[in-house]
């Protein structure tokens, strides 16, 4: 990734939590930054600290990525600013209620931020990265996208989308010099829990956000396509992914599988 050493890093959801720590870590690596979030006050405070401590240049771009006009401004920045070489798609949201208790507007907002905004930002920068022959996109997914048993149906579905998108972009853009990484955090101590309405006292132990990001950056430096910081045994993911790939040749069949064919002739009524 030496060709990215002098590139600017654009981080969404940068005012707190995972996004703020990513900003801190890349600043300490010497990267200039563009911070994107809704909370201007907190972003400016973070930017001032990072300028003072690391000497990097930090630009602040206030935007609500669920607002079409404000999202378009961030897209344009990604298209036009050729100094930006790393996109961290971190902004995301959830709601602490079951699917049947979520309003249509709540569902739409989760999808708008977790899927639509993330995909549009990746799309905005991908062509330029391909033309340059370098660049990196880090998409923050979640282990919930692999586990419907956790019960976060809409949130998990959006994070499954992010994982699939990242894997697809890896196959499409990787050969053209663009690195794509999906990071799948488990439960991490960030403000998203309280903002989503969760009772913090009822939650299981959480990973600290600094540890999560530092582990994810080890995966970044190794150019992992999928990084799961909380997974102790990497072979479990490899086995899971290998099983998926084993099925692929069997998907494209011209006949239904034998187990779906009727084993006997239809019953006929006996004439009296």
Q: Which among 171, 149, 148, 158 is positioned nearest to 226, based on CA atoms?
A: 171
Question: CA 22, CA 24: separation in Å to the nearest integer?
Answer: 5
Catalytic residue, candidates 22, 155, 179, 260:
155
**Is the CB of residue 200 less than 8 Å from the CB of residue 187?**
no
Clarify whether 155 is annotated catalytic: yes
Helix (H), strand (E), coil (C) string for the chain: CHHHCCCEEEEECCCCHHHHHHHHHHHHCCCCEEEEECCHHHHHHHHHHHHHHHCCCEEEEECCCCCHHHHHHHHHHHHHCCCEEEEEECCCCCCCCCHHHCCHHHHHHHHHHHHHHHHHHHHHHHHHHHHHCCCEEEEECCHHHHCHHHCCHHHHHHHHHHHHHHHHHHHHHHHHCCEEEEECCCCECCCHHHHCCCCHHHCCCCECHHHHHHHHHHHHHCCCCEECCCCCCHHHHHHHHHHHHHHHHHHCCCCCCHHHCCCCCCCCCCCC
Asked whether the beta carbons of 187 and 204 are under 8 A apart, the reply is yes
Q: Which positions are annotated as active-site residues? A: 155
């Amino acid at each position: 990734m030496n060709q990215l050493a002098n590139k600017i890093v654009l981080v969404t959801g940068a005012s707190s939590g995972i996004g703020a720590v990513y900003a801190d870590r890349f600043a300490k690596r010497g990267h200039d930054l563009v911070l994107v979030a809704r909370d201007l006050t907190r972003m400016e405070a973070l930017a001032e600290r990072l300028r003072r401590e690391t000497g990097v240049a930090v630009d602040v771009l206030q935007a609500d990525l669920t607002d079409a006009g404000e999202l378009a401004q961030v897209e344009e920045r990604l298209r036009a600013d050729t100094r930006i070489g790393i996109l961290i798609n971190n902004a995301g949201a959830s709601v602490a209620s079951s699917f049947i208790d979520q309003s249509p507007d709540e569902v739409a907002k989760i999808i708008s931020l977790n899927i639509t905004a993330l995909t549009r930002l990746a799309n905005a920068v991908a062509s330029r990265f391909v033309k340059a022959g370098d660049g990196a996109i880090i998409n923050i997914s979640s282990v919930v996208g692999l586990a419907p048993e956790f019960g976060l149906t809409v949130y998990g579905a959006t994070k499954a989308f992010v994982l699939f998108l990242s894997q697809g972009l890896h196959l499409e853009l990787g050969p053209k010099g663009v690195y794509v990484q999906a990071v799948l955090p488990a439960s991490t101590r960030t403000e998203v829990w309280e903002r989503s309405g969760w009772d913090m006292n009822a939650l299981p132990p959480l990973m600290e956000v600094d540890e999560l990001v530092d582990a994810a950056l080890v995966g970044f430096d190794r150019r992992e396509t999928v990084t799961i910081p909380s997974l102790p045994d990497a072979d479990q993911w490899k086995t899971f992914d290998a099983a998926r790939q084993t099925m692929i040749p069997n998907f494209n069949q011209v006949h239904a599988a034998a187990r779906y064919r009727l084993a006997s002739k239809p019953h006929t009524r006996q004439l009296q």
